Amino acid sequence: MRSDKHNNAPFPLKLAATGGLLFLHLPLLLIFAYAFTTEDKSFQWPPPGFTTRWLAVTWARPDVWQALTLSLQVASIATAFALVLGTLCAAALSRARFFGQEAITLLVILPIALPGIVTGIALRSAFGMMQIPFSFWTIVLGHATFCIVVVYNNAVARFRRMSPSLVEASYDLGANGFQTFRHVILPNIGTALLAGGMLAFALSFDEVIVTTFTAGQQQTLPIWMLEELIRPHERPVTNVVAMAVVLVTLIPILGAYYLTRDGAETAGSGK
Amino acid sequence: MTASLAPQSSAQDSLASRFSAALWRSPRLLLLLLLAPPLLWLGVVYVGSLIALLAQSFFSFDDFTAQVTYELTLSTYAELFSPANFDIIKRTVTMAALVTIASAILAFPIAYYAARYAKGRWKAFFYLGVMLPLWSSYLVKIYAWKMILSKEGIVSWTADKLHLSWLLDAWLSLPVVGGNSLSVSATGTFLVFVYIWLPYMILPIQASLERVPANLIEASYDLGGGPSKTFRHVLLPLAMPGVAAGSIFTFSLTLGDYIIPGIIGTSRLFIGQAVYTQQGTAGNIPLAAAFSVVPVVIMAFYLWGAKKQGAFDAL
């Protein structure tokens, strides 16, 4: 009695799903069109003409490069902190059962569950109280706090799939804890860490809400964009930067996707 | 050279071995060592900051001297209920509720199609189709909408080509939702919120629909339930945990956002903007702190309700 009719999507559903996906993607595609427009005063549509002139103008702008460099530095260091702390948390929480475990899980998720503005203003007022001046490191501190959860999520899933007998076998064969970590655990969780690290990097690279509270005079790339959005100086340059940001964030997202696509390569997962 | 180094390195080896053997014998010690660094960071730096913030909200701010008075009081919280401030809270909560409902309606067909009909390559296509906009730069997405909604932008152009400009103008002349152009109207703010948080709604709904067996739908059809009955009595109840989980994100993110309404919207403030202006230009940290407690309290109630709906099983 199984009818094939119900295995093909009804037309209204197809239409609504396609419409939804178009709604998600058309605005991003529009960024590409505007990056090449000759119109530099307004967001006129359709663009009166196309030019590649603004690519060269943007390339020559030192403020864009400074903001980009700062963003890359902050994201790298925040990701490194998050990788270490997130992996430690995942290793501790993946198997053991102990009192207060749920509270610790909540603690890890909290920075991303609370609105960014709460995290931002909390850190800012704490820095103010302790009289820590705003610097590169206050930005990193804020970013690492909410990047931990991304690494943790990826790592804990992999730890749970990994068979505990692998570690026991390593000990039985005479390896100590450090050797076991280096030769057994790390190869198994490596891709999950890489994926988590990439997402943490993307998250930090794009973060603006917490950064507005923890940065002093320094401009990360999102802060630079925010300034341009509030007080536009040169629209075409902003258009080109926006396009570049879309292209650059594509890489870690696609990378993380391909690394975690199938967990089948995890040793001992069949057990 | 090797001869002189060998004993030393073996001594190091045995130290490492003895250390790891001690950890193996006492898993508690290992657990403590693993958890100490992240707990120091999150428990001390982060929770410490949150508590410091909460403490500030119990102080008051003297408008004449522009100084914070360090005496415990609830007067700052009372200020939240002054008509101007309470309007801000009402406006933000209404917006968050509308955004959540609209996202759920838009997300459902995408999630349902991806969960039930998309196979193999199409499944990956749908997954990336949701993930890419989700992870794309937040500010770039807002910027794209500033382009779209501006007076000379693509929406006005499309309305003009379809001879629907009168409709757009009529909508913009309405009191609450209208404005000079879409990019400075509450409608614009609403559209951008829905756009930016939509992927957060799609993913949990899809996850909950993946768990609905296809033969349950077929059984409903076999028993004479048409598409609308099947949707109302079978699909929707089973998808509810996913909707609740997604609504946590859309609701909470809308409550706390201060950048979107600042860039696309009217001059009427939202909670996030109130926090930002109070702590920044006004220097009224106590009121800013009290304002930032509002979304946290609302979310605590919301999470409590969502837990009853089974939202946490769908995350």
pLDDT tens profile B200-210: 999 889 988 88
Residue with tokens 């870690």: A252
pLDDT for the residue B220: 85
Establish if A31 belongs to a structural domain: no
Do B177 and B244 belong together in one domain? Answer: yes
Do B37 and B125 belong together in one domain? Answer: no
Gap from B268 CA to chain A (nearest CA, Å): 16
Structure tokens belonging to residue B177: 């939702």
Q: Which of A258-262, B30-34, B137-141, B246-250 has the highest mean pLDDT?
A: B137-141
Number of domains in chain A: 1
A61-115 tens-digit pLDDT: 898 999 999 999 999 999 999 999 999 988 888 877 777 777 888 888 888 778 8
Interface test with B, best of A37, A81, A117, A231 (most B CBs within 10 A): A117
pLDDT for the residue A270: 38
Establish if B68 belongs to a structural domain: no
Work out the average pLDDT over B81-97: 93
Do B47 and B89 belong together in one domain? Answer: no
Q: What percent of chain B clears pLDDT 70, i.e. is strictly above it?
A: 94
Do B32 and B177 belong together in one domain? Answer: no
CATH of the domain at B188: 1.10.3720.10
Do B112 and B164 belong together in one domain? Answer: yes
Establish if B73 belongs to a structural domain: no
Do B26 and B163 belong together in one domain? Answer: no
Complex-level ipTM: 0.83
Residues of B in contact with A91 (CB under 8 A): 34
Number of domains in chain B: 2
Residues of B in contact with A246 (CB under 8 A): 136-137, 140
Do B23 and B102 belong together in one domain? Answer: no
**How many C-beta neighbours within 10 Å does residue A153 have?**
18
Buried b (16+ CB within 10 A) or exposed e, B266-285: beebbbbbbbbbbbeeeebb
Establish if A45 belongs to a structural domain: no
pLDDT for the residue B224: 83
Q: Is the pLDDT of residue B98 over 60?
A: yes
Work out the average pLDDT over B106-114: 92
Q: Is the pLDDT of residue B1 over 50?
A: no
For residues A90 and B95, what is the distance between their CA atoms, to the nearest angstrom? 37
Q: How confident is the model at residue B10 (pLDDT cuts 50, 70, 90)?
A: low
Option in B38, B195, B257 nearest A88 (CB): B38
Tell me if chain A has a CB within 8 Å of the CB of B131: yes
DSSP type of residue B124: H
Question: Which H/E stretch holds residue A250?
Answer: helix A235-260
Establish if B89 belongs to a structural domain: yes
Helix (H, G, I), strand (E, B) or coil at B60: strand
Q: Residue B26: give the domain boundaries.
A: 2-56
Do B22 and B108 belong together in one domain? Answer: no
Do B134 and B85 belong together in one domain? Answer: yes
Do B14 and B88 belong together in one domain? Answer: no
Establish if A24 belongs to a structural domain: no
pLDDT for the residue A99: 79
pLDDT for the residue A153: 86
Q: Is the pLDDT of residue B86 over 60?
A: yes
Q: Residue A118: give the domain boundaries.
A: 63-264
For residues B315 and B313, what is the distance between their CA atoms, to the nearest angstrom? 6
Establish if A35 belongs to a structural domain: no
B185-198 tens-digit pLDDT: 999 999 999 999 99
Work out the average pLDDT over B227-234: 84
Q: What percent of chain B clears pLDDT 90, i.e. is strictly above it?
A: 23
Q: Does A23 sit within 8 Å of B195, measured CB to CB? A: yes
A114 to chain B: closest CA residue: B296
pLDDT for the residue A266: 45
Q: Does B20 sit within 8 Å of A115, measured CB to CB? A: no
Q: Is the pLDDT of residue B7 over 70?
A: no
Structure tokens belonging to residue A72: 């890359």
Establish if A189 belongs to a structural domain: yes
pLDDT for the residue A265: 43
CA distances from A263 to A158, A186, A189, B221, B314 (A): 8, 15, 10, 36, 20
Establish if B72 belongs to a structural domain: no
Least confident window among A63-72, A130-139, B85-94, B226-235: B226-235
Do B10 and B111 belong together in one domain? Answer: no
Work out the average pLDDT over B35-44: 85
Q: Which of A103-107, B101-105, B249-253 has the highest mean pLDDT?
A: B101-105
Tell me if chain A has a CB within 8 Å of the CB of B166: no
Establish if B65 belongs to a structural domain: no
Question: Which H/E stretch holds residue B69?
Answer: strand B67-69
Gap from B50 CA to chain A (nearest CA, Å): 5
Q: Is the pLDDT of residue B226 over 70?
A: yes
Work out the average pLDDT over B115-135: 86
Do B286 and B152 belong together in one domain? Answer: yes
Establish if B290 belongs to a structural domain: yes
A122-176 tens-digit pLDDT: 888 888 878 888 889 999 999 999 899 889 988 888 888 888 888 888 888 888 8
CATH of the domain at A96: 1.10.3720.10
Work out the average pLDDT over A178-199: 87
Q: Does B198 sit within 8 Å of A20, measured CB to CB? A: yes
Task: State the virtual CA torsion across B66, B68, B72, B74 in degrees, nearest 10.
Answer: 50
- Give the ranges where chain B is alpha helix by DSSP (H): 2-25, 27-39, 47-56, 75-79, 83-112, 121-135, 138-149, 154-161, 165-172, 186-210, 214-222, 227-230, 236-256, 260-263, 271-279, 285-308
Gap from B196 CA to chain A (nearest CA, Å): 9
Establish if A121 belongs to a structural domain: yes
Q: How high is the mean pLDDT of chain B?
A: 85
More confident position, A45 or A64: A64
Angle at A23 between CA A22 and CA A28, to 5 degrees: 85
Establish if A44 belongs to a structural domain: no
Q: Is the pLDDT of residue B56 over 70?
A: yes
Establish if A14 belongs to a structural domain: no
Q: How high is the mean pLDDT of chain A?
A: 84
Q: Is the pLDDT of residue A200 over 80?
A: yes
Q: How confident is the model at residue B175 (pLDDT cuts 50, 70, 90)?
A: confident
Return the biggest CA–CA distance within chain A.
Answer: 74
Q: How confident is the model at residue B310 (pLDDT cuts 50, 70, 90)?
A: low
Establish if B167 belongs to a structural domain: yes
Instruction: Check: CB of residue B42 under 8 Å from CB of residue A82.
Output: no
Interface test with A, best of B35, B126, B143 (most A CBs within 10 A): B143
Q: Which amino acid is at A244?
A: A
Residues of B in contact with A20 (CB under 8 A): 106-107, 109-110, 198, 202
pLDDT for the residue A262: 61
pLDDT for the residue B4: 44
